[in-house]
Structures are given as C-alpha cells and as structure tokens.
Structure 1
C-alpha cells in the first residue's frame, strides 16, 4: 500500500462485508440474540444475579471442557485473573516477572499490583508473542540458579514467573517457552486473554503453563460484559484461586468465617449467564472469523499477519503490516475518518513513563511491530 487510492478497495470490502454502507464499523463489537436474552432473563427471574448461582458453575465447566483444562475459575475480569494467577503461583513483593513489552497494559499492571516488577524481553515477528530465544538469552546471560530459585545477578532479585501473551490470538511458541521456564525454575502463567479458541500443536492456549487466563471483555471473541477465567490442571492451584477469589470463606450454612486475607473477585451469575450463551456460539464465531481472515489475506496488496506454524489462531483481531510508520498513521487517519475503526498495536510498555525504568533486553521486534502493524475490523456479523 502506498496511497489512498490503493486503500479504497479495502475500505469498500470492509463496508460490503459488514453490510454497512455508511456509519460506524467497530473494530470488534459483541454479537447477541435471543439466546443471551433468554439466559439473562432466567438469571434475573431466579434472583441469583450476584456471585452465587448455577450459571457460574456451568460457565466454568463449559470453558474447562472446551479448552481441555481440568479446572476453571471465573473472576471479575482478566486483569484480576492475572493478578490472582500470579498470587497462587507464589509471586512475592520485590520479585521480577519476565514478560513482553508488546502487550496491553493489564499484563504489566497485574505484576506491579503485587509490588513486583516486569522484565521485558523481545517478541517474534512471526507469532507476535514472547520470543523463546530472547527469553533464553536473558536468563543465560543475566541470571543464576541458587537454592532452587532463579536470581537476577545484578539486583539479587528473584525471577519468580514468566507471563507471555498470545498476542491478538496468535499462539506464541509456548512449548519452547515452557521448557526454558522449567529449566530455570520459573513459573509459567499464560496471558491468554485474547486467545480463546486458539491452539498450538493441537493444544489450547492457556493449558501449557501452571495457569492460563482469559478475558471476556466486550471486545473479545466471546464476552460476559466484563469477566475473566483462570484455567489449570493443578487441582490445588484451582482450589486456592477459587478460595481467594471468594473472600476465603470457609463453607458453612450460616457462619461467616474466613481463613486468609483474600479478595472479592467473583464473576456475577448474571455475567456468567451471558457467557454461557456466548460459549454455545463460539464454534460458529471462530469459523466466521477464519473466513474473514482468509478474505483479508487474499486481498491484493495487503501484507497480513497469518497464523504461525503449528498454530491455529482464533484471529481475534486481523493484523495488517504497513511499509512504514508514516504509512501506518496515514492509513489509520483514513479509516477512522471514514468511520471504520482501525487501531495500531499498543504503545510498548517500555515506552510508557510508568514502565520505562524496568529491566529489559534489546527489543527490536517489539518496536518494529508497534510501528508498522494495524488492526482491522474483525468482529462477527450478527444475524437476525
């Protein structure tokens, strides 16, 4: 792409695909019909609209079954899910957590909320996710194992965990990341917020590490309005996460007794009812999103990010690679001026003042992708 004329076929295709001749085309709008309304009304009629009710349990079971995880724990949002996952794997104040700078700010925020600090390593251009080579190089050059812990040599701080993100739903090379983490005694927690319906080597994202975390924000593949979900095969981690998310209340018919200082991170039954109806449509959503991705990829003149080798991506957001930052900005201005929502990737975390002083490796791929990639409208079409 080099000028506005070259972009017009793409603009026209987007409008034709969504059947909107004029007006706003969102980046990724939710899709609801009578199925959602029916379950939400049923939840309202039951009066169990808060943190107790059958839909929370059913939603957890449905997500666990879909992903192949043994356990799922519903929470109020993805950020709190990451916070809770890091809590139960043992993150302590002053610890360090390896992650990627190319991410939504929630990834770093969940670490900082523990009074710990993120350490940024580079991502890959192919997967957009954390680069195993960059991770391995940082650990080999800057850490040592001591008493079963990974210690950052220069600061003496413990590197307790690693949080890669499956960016835009494209799976990272998570098996290699896991192997490196195990070698260095670092707990792997997957930020799978954007990757429900994505698989790596036929295994669902979020099921490789000790825990994985999904987001059900309004712009995700499925939504509960707000909400998140932890998944794990570790029964004790699941039990502890559920216990902490529900104020650490000891089960009893009427007494209120609690055995840990804990949190109220429970997903309301009302949100879970919405999510359960959405889960019933997830296979159809994924099929439609793959069709849209193929259409984008077949459009002449576009360089689209495609699912990497050994991966099945959900194509949460389709990603277009521009030739330069100047072209990217011109394309964004044109699309948004035409009432078509398009957006760049996030400002890398190390370029934000709040995280500028964090430890990091060289990040050339992070900065290259942030300067060139644009997300295109990617939501499913709602049918009456």
Structure 2
C-alpha cells in the first residue's frame, strides 16, 4: 500500500512539476482577466451596479442555454435565494443528500427548514432517485398541501441534488420522482459548470439551478454564484429579491418584501467574464487530465471515479475510491506529507451536530463512500488546453 501511495505522489508530480506544494485546485488566469478588471476599476462601477454584471449573466445564460441567469455574491446565497423562490418555508423539509458540502444544508437552514437525507448512488456520488422513490413510497403521502412526511406532517417542499465533483446525478429519473410527488427540484450545480446530462447543461432540469464561482471552481470570480432559470418571470423576481427587494424609483427607497443584499459586485463579474471566455478550454484541459488519471489507475488498487454514462463531466475534482478507510487515511497521510494536495470527501452532513437530528433514510452508500473517496490535484493544466 505504501508503495502504491508513493507511486501516486510521483505521478502527480509529473503532472505538476516544479513546485514544492501541489494544490488541490488552483485557478488559471491566462486570458483577459487583468484587462477587464482594470477597465472595471477605471469605470468606478466596482459594486453591484455595472456593465460587467449584466454581461456575465448573459454569457453564462448563453453558455448553459438557460433562459436567464442571475448573479449573486456566492453560491450559498444563490441556493438560499433559489429555495425562497420555490416556496420553502420554516418547518418544511428539503430533500438532499448527506454526501455534500455543508453549504447545501446551510442554505436549507437559512429558510428555517430542515434537510431530509436520502442516499446516493455509488457511481454518480449524487442523490439516488431509486432511494428517493422508495423512501417516499414508504414514508410520505400526498395531501392537499402537497407531499408530506407521514410521521410529522411536514411538507416536502423541495429536492436539492448536488452534482458531486461535477458528475451529474440521474436527472431524468429524479425529475420524474419530483414531478410525481409535486416537489420542486433545485439543482445544486455549484461544482458542475461545463457538465452535461444527455447533452443538456446541468442546472437546467429543475425550477432553478445554482452555480458557484468560488476561487477553487472551474471558473472563478473570486467569490460568486449564479441562479439559472427556464422561467423569465422567476428570474426577474430573483433579481428583485437579491437586490434588497427595492422597487425602481428616481430617488425614493421603496422595498416591497424582505430581500437580500446578495448581488455580485461588478469587479468580480469582470473577472468572471474573462474566465467564461475560456471555459471550454478549461473543460478540455480537465477532461484531458482525467484521461491521464484514468490510465494511471487502470490496474491499481484504487478505482477512478469516472463520468456517468450519457454524461459529459467537467471533472472539477478527480477522485479515487480506496479499498477501505484505512487505505484512504494512508493515502491522505502519504500525499499530504509529500506536499501533494489531496482531500477526503466531506463528512456526512447527518454526522454534523447541527444536522444530526434531521430525518434520514438508509445511507449505506453514502457511508461507504465517505470512508473511501479521496480527491486528487485537479488544477487545469495550460499544456492540455485546446
């Protein structure tokens, strides 16, 4: 096992030579980032009003094929807003997966709602429509106010799958389950910009899709998020809600609902515009990197996490599945000591103190994966860019 772990260190250093530390994921700025940011500063419109915000929204909408896109200050703010827009209220339940980043559940908590944890599929690492359907058939019922949990009467208001490491969940089946039960689908596509499910961009299968542009994402604005919409009226409401719900007026401050100061600054959007111009190059580079990793791990004791059938994954983070938790911890220890940035997958959300009492189904797959998944250095390599 030690020899195999050292082989991984040597291989990663052939991919990223020259540095003492190989980060898990670093941004790439070799486009027009500095030009656009300088132009934004010169314009003096550096806050949430400015031409680059509109341009960035239009570019993301055009790239993904969404009817409209609304930028926010970060992905968590986008997800919180999306849940508000689909009607999540205090006391509701929101279906999600335990194997996710904590922001998914935090956004649910901001609404005064609680997560309901459903197991994942081991090939997609994301919410299992089979597990969800089985749980609902056993534990939920349809009432006048919608689908409710029989044991508590709480409304199952929304479902939030997360496309882990950029690998799409089984969206067609998940859409059918949500439609059958009358549950709103909000995609946490924070990690999957550039990923396609059956030829269609992730984030476009539910009422709202959410993207993230954090510093470690495939495209970054330093910090930022985006909501994708197929409904133009909902998009207009989203922009209103995230701009403190302020009504247009020549000089008065008039607000008609509780809103949020969630708009993306123009300065961040300027950076994002330059990044979006290069997105297909980044996706190409990351898929080329995935090819290298896949070949390397082909006959090893580790299983490479590959894209699901019928999908194009952006491979935001490449990852392997280890034999067991001991093997996982050994790999993490060896690589970290050698300056190679690897990470375990997140601790399960139902194991965190603030979500430990949330309702949950059987979580065998999520528990199995949490003991075994290690993510690997995945920065886009300039030499791989088409």
- TM-score normalised by the chain length of structure 2: 0.97
288-297 or 251-260: bigger deviation: 251-260
3-state SS of 1:84 partner? helix
Gaps of 5+ in 1: none
- Secondary structure class of the residue paired with 1:52: coil
- Say whether 1:234 aligns with 2:231: yes
**Distance (whole Å) between structure 1 residues aligned to residue 382 and residue 70 of structure 2:** 29
Gaps of 5+ in 2: none
CA apart distance, 1:347: 0.2
Partner residue, 2:336: 336
Match of 1:45 in 2: 42
Q: Return the alpha-carbon distance in structure 2 between the equivalents of residues 284 and 75 of structure 1.
A: 24
Secondary structure at 1:212 match in 2:
strand
Query: Residues 300-311 of structure 1 correspond to what in structure 2 (within 5 A)?
Result: 300-301=299-300, 302-311=302-311
Q: Distance between the aligned counterparts of 1:163 and 1:292, measured in 2?
A: 29
Does structure 1 residue 10 correspond to structure 2 residue 8? yes
Q: CA deviation at 1:236?
A: 1.8
Question: Which position in structure 2 is the counterpart of 1:323?
Answer: 323
> Are the counterparts in 2 of residues 162 and 181 from structure 1 also a CA contact under 8 Å?
yes
Choose the corresponding residue for 2:73, options 65, 73, 76.
76
1:223 to 220, 223, 231: 220
For the residue of structure 1 that corresponds to 2:277, the secondary structure is helix
CA contact (8 A) 1:89 1:237 kept: no
Name which of 196, 210, 215 aligns with 1:213. Answer: 210
Q: Which residue of 1 is the match for residue 53 of structure 2? A: 56
- How far is the alpha carbon of 1:352 from its aligned partner? 1.1
2 CA distance for matches of 1:16 and 1:204? 33
Match of 2:95 among 82, 94, 98: 98
Contact 2:31 2:275 in 1 (8 A): no
* Number of the residue aligned with 1:374: 374
Alignment CA distance shift 1:256-1:164 (3 Å): same
Moved over 6 A (4+): none
State the 1:148 CA deviation: 5.0
Q: Choose from 255, 258, 261 the match for 1:261.
A: 258
Measured after TM superposition, the shift of residue 9 of structure 1 is: 2.7
Aligned-pair CA distance for 1:198: 0.4
**SS, match of residue 306 in structure 2:** coil
Deviates more, 1:301-310 or 1:117-126: 301-310
Q: Which residue number corresponds to residue 244 of structure 2?
A: 247
Aligned to 1:277: 274
Secondary structure in 1 matching 2:256: coil
2:6 and 2:335 in contact (8 A); partners too: no
How many residues matched?
381
TM-score normalised by length of structure 1:
0.97
Kept in 2, the 8 Å contact 1:25–1:377? The answer is yes
Q: Equivalent residue of 2:32, what SS? A: helix
Q: Displacement, 1:253? A: 3.0
Task: Indicate conservation of the 8 Å contact 2:304/2:320, yes or no.
Answer: yes
Instruction: Note the C-alpha offset of 1:255.
Output: 2.5
1: CA distance between counterparts of 2:62 and 2:95?
Answer: 29
CA RMSD of aligned residues (A): 1.2
Q: Would the aligned equivalents of 1:32 and 1:382 in 2 still touch at CA under 8 Å?
A: no
Secondary structure of 1:25's aligned partner: coil
Alpha carbons 1:127, 1:171 under 8 Å: kept: yes
Aligned to 1:119: 116
The question of whether the paired residues in 1 share the 8 Å contact of 2:285 and 2:382 is answered with no
- Deviation string 1:147-205 (CA, Å, 9 cap, x unpaired) is 15001110011110000000110000011101100100100000000000000000100
Q: Answer whether contact 2:94 2:158 (CA < 8 A) is retained.
A: yes
3-state SS of paired residue (1:74): strand
- Name the CA distance, whole Å, in 1 between partners of 2:192 and 2:353: 28
Contact 1:148-1:185 at 8 Å conserved across structures: no
Q: Do the aligned partners of 1:101 and 1:349 also contact (CA within 8 Å) in 2?
A: yes
